[in-house]
A and B are shown apart, each in its own frame.
Chain A
Amino acid sequence: MMKEDNIIVCRCEDVTLKDIRELIKRGYTNIEEIKRITRCGMGPCQGKNCGQIILREISMITGIPVEKLTLQRYRPPFGGIKFSEVLGENNDEK
């Protein structure tokens, strides 16, 4: 038997294939829902590694082709930035 809890889907947040499959079977069939529950896609890689695997799992379990599934939302900023830069505190710029 395949050990699903030994298969990592999201390396950033340490989420396994078992976690993902259980959620989908419980009815969480939208990648944005799975993201909010597991933090998949919220780590440093922002879903670049896990995104496609999760979509494929949802597709396999629900029978809906990936083309028809809701895709992941991306939000800025795409890199870590200090609050001082955003708020202007200690900002030399006149």
Chain B
Amino acid sequence: MIETDILVVGGGPAGISAALACGRNNIKTVLIEERDFLGGQLIKQTHRFFGSKEERAGSRGIRIAEDLMNEIKKNKNIDLYLDARALGYYEEEKIFTVLQNGRMLKFSPRKLIIATGAFEKSLSFENNDLPGIYGAGAVQTLMNIYGVKPAERVLMIGSGNIGLIVSYQLIQAGVQVVGVIEAAPEIGGYAVHASKIRRLGVPLYTSHTIKKAIGNEFVTGAEIIELDRNWNEIKGTEKKIDCDCICLSVGLSPLVDILSQSGCEMVYIPELGGEVPVRNENMQTSIDNIYVAGDLAGIEEATAAMLEGELAGLCAANTFINDVKQDERIEKIKNNLEVLRSGPKGSKIRSGLNKLIKGETFFQGGRNTGSEIEAFKKTGIPSGENLRSILPDEKRINETPFALIECFQEIPCDPCVNNCPFGAITEGTDINNLPKIDYSKCTGCGSCISRCPGLAIFLINKNYSENTSTVSMPYEMLPVPQKGEIVDVLDREGKKIVSGKVVKVLKNEKMDKTNVISVEIPKEFFNVARNIRLVK
């Protein structure tokens, strides 16, 4: 029997943060993880995170994972068990059993923090067991952990952030993404993620679903169909798409088996992903000594999981220590979580959390989206009206270089604000507000370009020469073009508009592989050119 104050189950972002919160406060903590490495989904997240500076927005998930893992290994209060699978919890005896190297270990913890995460939802369509049909998580694991190219031509099902990000990563890995389909009338994830793949020429089909997979031995294509407002298939709109992989990214379900088995009160809330434990604001379940954190408490982003992990850790630890400082931090985390969830994109999680506890309301306020869907949220491509709303006046356009932030959706994000050396970018008090540039302060230095997690900032030098302009853009593909190279210049839909010359390549360690490429183009295209493609 191994005695410990705290046992944390699950070594993803939530579990690591929970263990660290306890370990930092000198509380004896055991962290168990099923795999032989820590980090959970974080170690596949090669993209930059949204959120606020405090939660390391603008850093790539893999970097955050490295730092957290190092801190776990250094902390003497945390005993780490890898390759250790939870077997069950016996509430009467307060014994938690774990399988490691074929042996059953028995733990006797004073408090449990369960952070087992989630698993991918599956989808029923004809021939859905053909080889070549993957979950997005599997595709990401093959690519980003094992370095294996999963397919040549992928059709992505689902336009949530995972579907959009994995599509982008597939293209980075040299895989063609033949389309992203989405059953809802608007993009599920952040529209800036959609803009990134649109600029790479990926078609996006909203109000579409997959009808069947085509192929005998393996996937050779898919049949998709359009849906009407009531989610009914519209006959005659069937379309065949050639592909050798159908990638499913249709949402996650909380992994609650241990909680349900332990006897925690459970409830089914669609907005939170399915069956979730009833819990209070301190992440405590109906069983006093069991706390939860992360996706199993309701599907959200990794930033929220890390905050919840720390919150659960501190609240569980608070039963051993009574330090005023912790109470302050607990209030701060609760506040940060509320801010993260308060924008229009947080309306689903807010509605789910409000159903979670009877008689208690997590959220009084928060902003919701209007009923009418703007074109940008449907296509990922800003409308003329969107673009006019951000351009400086004619005089400023013609003066010196200026930054242009093509960010038209209120999401919790602020790296641009915090990285402008001249304080030209602001978004007021709410992190969900759209950023605004004070063009009297913007010097056109371009240091914001590589900091934007949405790759939505461009630098325009309209009067580069008498007849040409330059557009500087973020570029995360390989190989990196050389100065002087002639490349295809593409518009926001990834269509070639003209050939252009690379006049500058900015690349340094601080930019962490988001290089900035400046390309010279005829003046008329300064507000059209948004991507480049290398000419073979």
Given A2-B126, A6-B126, A7-B125, does the pair A77, B268 have CB atoms closer than 8 Å?
A: no
Chain A residue at smallest Cβ distance from B270: A66
Could you tell me if A66 and B122 are in contact, using CB atoms closer than 8 angstroms?
Answer: no
Kindly identify, within residues 226 to 285 of chain B, every residue whose CB is under 8 Å from any CB belonging to chain A.
Answer: 253, 255-258, 260-261, 266-270, 274-275
Kindly identify, within residues 1 to 25 of chain A, every residue whose CB is under 8 Å from any CB belonging to chain B.
Answer: 2-3, 6-9, 11, 17
Kindly identify, within residues 196 to 237 of chain B, every residue whose CB is under 8 Å from any CB belonging to chain A.
Answer: 211-212
Could you tell me if B104 and A74 are in contact, using CB atoms closer than 8 angstroms?
Answer: no
Could you tell me if A78 and B122 are in contact, using CB atoms closer than 8 angstroms?
Answer: no
A71 at the interface (CB under 8 A from B): yes
B88 at the interface (CB under 8 A from A): yes
Could you tell me if A78 and B87 are in contact, using CB atoms closer than 8 angstroms?
Answer: yes
Could you tell me if A73 and B88 are in contact, using CB atoms closer than 8 angstroms?
Answer: no
Given A76-B87, A78-B85, does the pair A66, B126 have CB atoms closer than 8 Å?
A: no
Tell me which of A2, A48, A71, A78 contacts B119 (CB under 8 A): A48
Min CB distance A10 to B, Å, is 10
Could you tell me if B268 and A71 are in contact, using CB atoms closer than 8 angstroms?
Answer: yes
A81 at the interface (CB under 8 A from B): yes
Min CB distance B276 to A, Å, is 11
Which DSSP category, helix, strand, loop or mixed, fits chain A's interface? loop
Could you tell me if B126 and A7 are in contact, using CB atoms closer than 8 angstroms?
Answer: yes
Report Cα–Cα, A52/B276, bound state, in Å.
13
Given A76-B88, A77-B88, A78-B85, does the pair A86, B104 have CB atoms closer than 8 Å?
A: yes
Could you tell me if A79 and B257 are in contact, using CB atoms closer than 8 angstroms?
Answer: no
Min CB distance B94 to A, Å, is 14
**Interface residues of A toward B: which range?**
20 to 34
Given A71-B266, A73-B260, does the pair A8, B253 have CB atoms closer than 8 Å?
A: no
B121 at the interface (CB under 8 A from A): yes
Could you tell me if A76 and B129 are in contact, using CB atoms closer than 8 angstroms?
Answer: no
A75 at the interface (CB under 8 A from B): yes
Report Cα–Cα, A46/B257, bound state, in Å.
9
Given A48-B255, A49-B122, does the pair A74, B261 have CB atoms closer than 8 Å?
A: yes
Report Cα–Cα, A13/B268, bound state, in Å.
25
- 1/0 per position for A55-89, CB-CB distance to B under 8 A? 00000000000110101111111110110011000
Which DSSP category, helix, strand, loop or mixed, fits chain B's interface? strand
Report Cα–Cα, A6/B124, bound state, in Å.
10
Tell me which of B99, B124, B260, B261 contacts A7 (CB under 8 A): B124
Enumerate chain B residues within 8 angstroms of A74, measured Cβ to Cβ.
256-258, 260-261
A34 at the interface (CB under 8 A from B): no
B460 at the interface (CB under 8 A from A): no
Enumerate chain B residues within 8 angstroms of A86, measured Cβ to Cβ.
104
B6 at the interface (CB under 8 A from A): no
- 1/0 per position for A27-56, CB-CB distance to B under 8 A? 000000000000000000010111111000
Could you tell me if B86 and A78 are in contact, using CB atoms closer than 8 angstroms?
Answer: yes
Min CB distance B107 to A, Å, is 14
15 contacting pairs across A/B (C-beta < 8 A) = A7-B125, A49-B122, A67-B268, A67-B269, A71-B260, A74-B256, A76-B89, A76-B90, A76-B97, A76-B261, A78-B88, A79-B85, A81-B99, A81-B104, A82-B102
Q: Please report A residues at the B interface, Cβ cutoff 8 Å.
A: 2-3, 6-9, 11, 17, 46, 48-53, 66-67, 69, 71-79, 81-82, 85-86
Given contacts A7-B128, A11-B129, A76-B89, 13 further A-B contacts (CB under 8 A): A2-B126, A3-B126, A6-B126, A9-B124, A51-B253, A53-B124, A67-B269, A74-B256, A77-B97, A78-B86, A79-B85, A85-B104, A86-B104
